[in-house]
Amino acid sequence: MEKLYEGKSKIVYAGPDEWTCYIKYKDTATAGNGAKKEDLPEKGRINAQISNIIFDYLTRYGIKTHMLRFVDPTMILAKKAEIIPLEVVVRNVAAGHFSSRYGVEEGSALKNVVVEYSYKNDDLGDPLICDSQITALGIAEQFELDEIKELALKINELLVRFFDKAGIKLIDFKIELGRYNGEIILCDEISPDCARLWDKTTNEKMDKDRFRRDMGDVMYYYQEILRRVMKANE
Ligand SMILES: Nc1ncnc2c1ncn2[C@@H]1O[C@H](COP(=O)(O)OP(=O)(O)OP(=O)(O)O)[C@@H](O)[C@H]1O
Ligand SMILES: [Mg+2]
């Protein structure tokens, strides 16, 4: 297979035609823009499955995604989109960079849902970026940003409901969107690698923060998230 791009957690290969690509989930975990790196056995398979269940659920509620089908347990065939180089972050509760940047305790309630963008550029360290900066740089048009924001909020509403059913609080998450056939579609993945997921009753962290912060039992919790989302999806 022709490798098009190797990222930190996935590899993109050319698909059977120009409209598609294969996306292989790796077991590699990284944090701090690659500064911390480790292999976590089974992570690729578990994230591929979690992401698929979530994309499947979102599709049932009218969200367009890149997912076509599984090729093997760690690889999917997807629509090959032109990725808009923005990390779109949705926050329901203060945590992570939001907490450190603005000096609010992790777990604090927010008066409204936050949608924020970072410019996807590893050399620059994915800096925060606002609408007028995005349009000034030609990264996306304002009408696209309006659609992206509406989409992000709708996905958030659906996911909060879904995770709640799984006994999980959705604290925040990151999505990537792409242009495909004149539309904006949900790409990349939604997994514990790119969402903060806390147990609904104990507030135990079940996501990549366990890896970032050396809390241990990373794969135990990822496996538990898979178990719960499978059950919530029945
Ligand atoms: N449907 C899609 N079509 C084309 N590219 C995609 C699609 N879905 C995801 N991608 C891209 O595939 C790559 C996945 O690799 P990975 O997540 O490992 O990247 P990464 O290390 O996070 O680096 P970066 O996202 O900064 O490129 C990302 O660049 C992502 O934007
Ligand atoms: Mg990525």
Tens digits of residue pLDDT in 41-99: 999 999 999 999 999 999 999 999 999 999 999 999 999 999 999 999 999 999 999 99
Decide if pLDDT at 21 tops 90: yes
For ligand 2, the distance from its centroid to the CA atom of residue 189, given in whole angstroms, is 8
Q: How far, CA to CA in Å, does 207 sit from each of 37, 50, 146?
A: 16, 12, 29
Rama region for 126: left / alpha / beta (φ>0; ψ in -120 to 50; rest): left
Of 207, 178, 213, the C-alpha closest to 194 is: 207
pTM: 0.97
Q: Please tell me the number of the ligand nearest to residue 20's CA.
A: 1
Mean pLDDT value of segment 10-20: 98
Q: For atom 27 of ligand 1, which residue has the closest CA? A: 7
For ligand 2, the distance from its centroid to the CA atom of residue 188, given in whole angstroms, is 7
Q: Is 85 exposed, middle or buried (0-12, 13-18, 19+ CB in 10 A)?
A: middle
Decide whether any atom of ligand 1 lies within 6 Å of the 26 Cβ. Answer: no
In this predicted structure, what is the pLDDT of residue 34? 84
Decide if pLDDT at 39 tops 90: yes
**Cβ burial 208-232 (10 Å sphere, 16+ → b, else e):** bbbbbeeeeebbebbbbbbebbeeb
In this predicted structure, what is the pLDDT of residue 208? 98
Mean pLDDT value of segment 111-122: 97
Report residue 104 as tokens. Answer: 């609010």
Decide whether any atom of ligand 1 lies within 6 Å of the 78 Cβ. Answer: yes
Hey, which residues does 90 pair with through a beta bridge?
A: 115, 173
In this predicted structure, what is the pLDDT of residue 57? 98
Q: How far is Cα 184 from Cα 80, in angstroms, rounded to an integer?
A: 12
- The atom number, within ligand 1, closest to the CA of 187 reads 8
Q: For atom 13 of ligand 1, which residue has the closest CA? A: 7
Indicate the pLDDT class of residue 186, thresholds 50, 70 and 90: very high
Mean pLDDT value of segment 23-40: 94
**Run of H or E residues at 121:** none
- The atom number, within ligand 1, closest to the CA of 8 reads 21
In this predicted structure, what is the pLDDT of residue 139? 98
Indicate the pLDDT class of residue 33, thresholds 50, 70 and 90: confident
Mean pLDDT of the chain: 97
Mean pLDDT value of segment 103-120: 98
